[in-house]
């Protein structure tokens, strides 16, 4: 009886893992498609297959999707297809830079705080907990007012909201790992703090970082869209989904639906793709999630 129960639990776990793997691959395919679009959009424009996303058309405007303009044209005279594709490039540039900045800052701070402890640990905990309690979008909007528009400025505004997440995860892992025998042995042999952190701790405390990176990237896409919708993200006329949605808002009551539909679908699809990758990785990193 017990062996049958164990077999059923293993079967359920394998089925759930198989579904997670399938969904993760779906997310990888979606994300890779967006990456390819971001990489090759300038090439397609150079070949004459895409309109310049920042050039307004004198005629026609308000045109629905057609053979000449696959996603139609906007009220401002932009080609929506070109704006949507180049919006992918802008989104990935800001999101990758923002998550990379938060990782580069949060991981070392978490390792130092957890390993050294003491006043530094208490001070960083207080600072990170304070930042963590603030809503991410509200904090990003406030910072965007301070640093201004631009790819780097938008990335900085987004990254500060994610630093505490990397810090908390890495610090907690560091606190638990630093009491292991191999760490104590390295300390007894006279290894420096840098040697212990880089050689013995680093690879043991970053298991959850790839998961956090993808989930933060998905959230950053939404936050960047929110900044663009409020007119705080990238400079004017830059193809960016949130800004295009803002410009499309006034046209919706007049029946011009395509200017909002396609940027909105692109934003949602990229968020879904990154989220599926993150959730799939999470089940590999955390075996407890596979238990019934």
- What domain count does the chain have? 1
- Give every CB contact of residue 117 below 8 A, 6+ residues apart in sequence: none
- Domain extent at residue 177: 2-290
CA distance 199 to 226: 40
For the chain, what's the residue count?
Answer: 292
What's the token pair of residue 243?
Answer: 């800004």
Which CATH number characterizes residue 123's domain? 1.10.3720.10
CA distance 162 to 99: 7
pLDDT in 10s for each residue of the chain, 292 residues = 444 544 444 545 555 556 777 888 999 999 999 999 999 999 988 888 888 888 877 666 778 888 878 898 888 888 999 999 999 999 999 999 999 999 999 999 999 998 888 898 899 999 998 888 888 878 888 888 888 888 899 999 899 999 999 999 999 888 888 888 888 888 788 778 888 888 888 888 888 788 889 989 999 999 999 998 988 888 878 899 999 999 888 888 788 889 899 999 999 999 999 999 988 887 776 655 554 4
Residue 203, judged by CB atoms within 10 A of its CB (0-12, 13-18, 19+), counts as: exposed
Torsion-angle region of 135 (φ positive above 0: left; ψ -120 to 50: alpha; else: beta): beta
CA distance 80 to 261: 10
What's the token pair of residue 26?
Answer: 């779906």
* Displacement of CA 90 from its chain's centroid (Å): 13
Backbone φ, ψ for residue 79 (5° rounding): -80, 115
User: What pLDDT score was predicted for residue 190?
Assistant: 79
User: What pLDDT score was predicted for residue 91?
Assistant: 93
Backbone φ, ψ for residue 64 (5° rounding): -70, 170
């Amino acid at each position: 009886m017990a062996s049958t129960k164990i077999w059923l639990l293993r079967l359920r776990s394998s089925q759930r893992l198989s579904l997670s793997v399938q969904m993760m691959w779906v997310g990888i395919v979606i994300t890779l498609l967006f990456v390819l679009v971001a990489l090759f959009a300038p090439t397609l424009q150079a070949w004459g297959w895409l309109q310049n996303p920042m050039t307004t058309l004198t005629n026609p405007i308000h045109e629905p999707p057609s053979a000449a303009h696959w996603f139609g044209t906007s009220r401002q005279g932009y080609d929506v297809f070109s704006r949507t594709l180049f919006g992918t490039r802008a989104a990935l540039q800001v999101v990758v830079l923002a998550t990379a900045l938060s990782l580069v800052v949060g991981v070392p701070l978490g390792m130092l705080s957890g390993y050294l402890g003491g006043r530094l640990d208490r001070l960083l905990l207080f600072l990170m907990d304070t930042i963590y309690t603030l809503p991410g979008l509200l904090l990003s909007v406030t910072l965007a007012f301070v640093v201004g528009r631009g790819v780097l400025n938008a990335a900085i505004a987004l990254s500060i909201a994610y630093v505490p997440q990397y810090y908390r995860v890495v610090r907690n892992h560091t606190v638990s790992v630093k009491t292991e025998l191999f760490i104590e042995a390295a300390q007894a042999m006279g290894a420096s703090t840098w040697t212990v952190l880089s050689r013995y701790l680093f690879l043991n405390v970053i298991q959850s970082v790839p998961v956090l990176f993808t989930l933060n990237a998905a959230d950053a896409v939404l936050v960047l869209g929110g900044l663009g919708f409020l007119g705080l993200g990238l400079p004017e006329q830059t193809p960016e989904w949130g800004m295009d949605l803002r410009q499309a808002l006034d046209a919706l009551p007049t029946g011009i639906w395509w200017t909002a539909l396609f940027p909105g679908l692109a934003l949602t699809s990229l968020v879904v793709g990154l989220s599926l990758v993150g959730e799939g990785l999470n089940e590999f990193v955390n075996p407890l999630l596979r238990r019934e």
